[in-house]
Amino acid sequence: MPYYQLTCPIIRKTHLTSGTVSLWFRGPQIAHAARPGQFVMLRVRNEVHPLLRRAFSISRCNPEEEAFEIMVQAAGTGSRIILEHEEGEMLDVLGPLGSSFQEVEGIQTALLVGGGIGIAPLFFLAQTLEVDYHILFGGRSHSQLFALPEFEPQMRFCTEDGSLGQKGLVTDLLQKTLQEVSGKAAVFACGPNQMLAAVAGVAEKTGIPCQVSMEAPMACGVGVCMGCPVPDVKGGYRYVCKDGPVFPAEMIHFKQLVNG
Amino acid sequence: MGNRTVDTHIQIGNVTFHSPIMVASGTFGYGFEYQDVVDVSRLGAVITKSITREPRAGNRPPRIVETAAGMLNSIGLANIGLQRFVEEMLPRYENYPTRIIVNIAGSTPEEYLTVLEALAPYPQIAAFEMNYSCPNVKEGGICFGVDANLSFNLTQALRNITSKPLIIKLTPNITSPVEVALAVQEAGADAVSMINTLVGMAVDIRTWKPRLGNITGGLSGPAIKPIALAQIWQVYQEVSIPIIGMGGISSVNDAIEFFLVGASAVQIGTANFVHPPTAMEITSGLTRYMQEKGLASLQDIIGKLKVEA
């Protein structure tokens, strides 16, 4: 699949939480080519520091506007600079990159499990799904979570401190939801490695297909720098930018990933 | 002034390159990964990821950390190995739009010799760059690049295998690179390339752990440019073979600094990650600069640094 380097204007900026913004960019080739699960690499600014591009999952696409969205959470210097940009400003974007979520044949329900800002690519997936779905959104507290109106009826929340939705981890919410759904289901998850390991564990125990979207530090985003390995169950590594970011959960050696 | 044609070709050993702007090993994959956004025919050469005799999975993660105006990496020469390189990449190089220089690494002299012997006959490979200096690979190996005698012996053995250009990539992690540069020149190397990454480290004060799985890594990017310039200038004054300069180049102005201190060609590395067309843009920028300055050939810039006697 080809990718592009485009200078894209921000056409819409909204605040999702106090530290998270949604940025919509106009970028025709990217908006048309992108598939759920893929990501873009944004140049922070045209200076030598911060040097490297930052990776963001595409969180929604709007082909009519030829636009795509990313969700940026204030984490480090680079993301702070990016989220301070305003409508009309231009950013240098490389994308769409990486693998996408794959359709699972014969399922009645898709369970989209997001931890923190890992929720982002699951909205894009929800946009394209033709089966029933639930979006399970977990975080430490309510201040991390948000809803998008178009998906709100399908969204369920949980927090570690109980400030919104069910108290506990998103895997607890997943297990509860699994008891409610009838027919075949599949899990699509994105979030911190610990969470993905737990979600993959639940899926394996219940015999449900599971795809995970992963994150790792990376310099290039296109399979050149070899900086973003995740351990393969068969030994060696897979690369998040090129082999992923979406992997079948059974391909990843989660024990090695989490324990280092 | 104006549209005068300028001659940007350079000669390394018995091979001519149409442009002195190349892309560095480890930052351009096997030459195909950036073709969606880079017209590689504009580049003087693509230097491949280091090839080793056996495939290498690479070091434990994390392998990348950003630092002030730079980055540290501890990739550990992850690559597909000689056999897969021959089977999968060499056929694809037959119609490749620019020259391919294969970078070779090893942890024993035999490994370098085996890989060079296997690859030397292929006409689609223009030249070889020998990585004597990877800072991230240690297991049982010797860093040839810090020892002039070892460098001499290995280079001489490699020279006996091929008449294609042999470029020796020097380590900057040494008191002075001059002695090793002179040794490889004497052993028959056609050029030296420098600098490789500098050994560096970053620490997470929240966890008290190193930020790289390998603890230390190689520093690259704009942060190392002044060191690269100084080392190239040192070597330029002592050796007569061409120097291919690199280390933090991200603009044509950076590249011109390298030519002035004695580089005959330059490689763009980390900047490829940040802005893939950097090398193409430097190629255009160099031609423009030479036209504006009325310089007919690269020989009018190389090593022309003005210093008080």
- Asked if B57 and A237 come within 8 Å (Cβ–Cβ), the reply is yes
Walk along chain A (260 residues) and give the pLDDT tens digit of each residue.
899 999 999 999 999 999 999 999 999 999 999 999 999 999 999 999 999 999 999 999 999 999 999 999 998 899 999 999 999 999 999 999 999 999 999 999 999 999 999 999 999 999 999 999 999 999 999 999 999 999 999 999 999 999 999 999 999 999 999 999 988 999 999 999 999 999 999 999 999 999 999 999 999 999 999 999 999 999 999 999 999 999 999 999 999 999 86
Q: Find all residues with CB under 8 Å of B278, minimum gap 6, and list them.
A: B250, B251, B268, B271, B272
Residue A227 is nearest to which of B29, B73, B276, comparing CB atoms?
Answer: B73
Residue B86 near residue B119, CB atoms below 8 Å: yes
Question: Which CATH architecture best describes the domain A109-259?
Answer: 3-Layer(aba) Sandwich (3.40)
CA distance B247 to A163: 51
Q: How far is B284 from chain A (nearest CA, A)?
A: 19
Closest-CA residue of B relative to A237 is B57
What residue segments make up the domains of chain B, in order of their start? 10-59+76-200+220-300
Q: How far is B3 from chain A (nearest CA, A)?
A: 30
On the 0-12 / 13-18 / 19+ scale of CB atoms within 10 A, B214 is buried
Kind of pairing, strands A90-97 and A4-17?
A: antiparallel
Residue A85 near residue A91, CB atoms below 8 Å: yes
- Asked if B221 and A51 come within 8 Å (Cβ–Cβ), the reply is yes
- Asked if A52 and B273 come within 8 Å (Cβ–Cβ), the reply is yes
What DSSP letter does each residue of B169-236 carry, written as one string? EPPSSSS-SHHHHHHHHHTT-SEEEE--PEEEE-EETTTTEESSTTSEEEEESGGGHHHHHHHHHHHH
What residue segments make up the domains of chain A, in order of their start? 4-97, 109-259
Per the DSSP assignment, residues forming a β-bridge with A132 are: A109
CATH of domain B10-59+76-200+220-300: 3.20.20.70
In whole angstroms, what separates CA A193 from the centre of its chain?
Answer: 12
Per the DSSP assignment, residues forming a β-bridge with B301 are: none
CA distance A219 to B292: 35
- The correct answer on CATH 2.40.30.10 for the domain covering A4-97 is yes
pTM of the model: 0.95
**Annotation marks residue B143 as catalytic:** no
| CATH topology identical between A4-97 and A109-259 | no
What DSSP letter does each residue of A188-227 carry, written as one string? EEES-HHHHHHHHHHHHHHT--EEEE-----SSSSSSS--
Residue A224 near residue B29, CB atoms below 8 Å: yes
Pick left, alpha or beta for residue A2 (phi over 0 → left; psi -120 to 50 → alpha; otherwise beta): beta
Per the DSSP assignment, residues forming a β-bridge with A252 are: A232
Quote the DSSP letter at residue B252: H
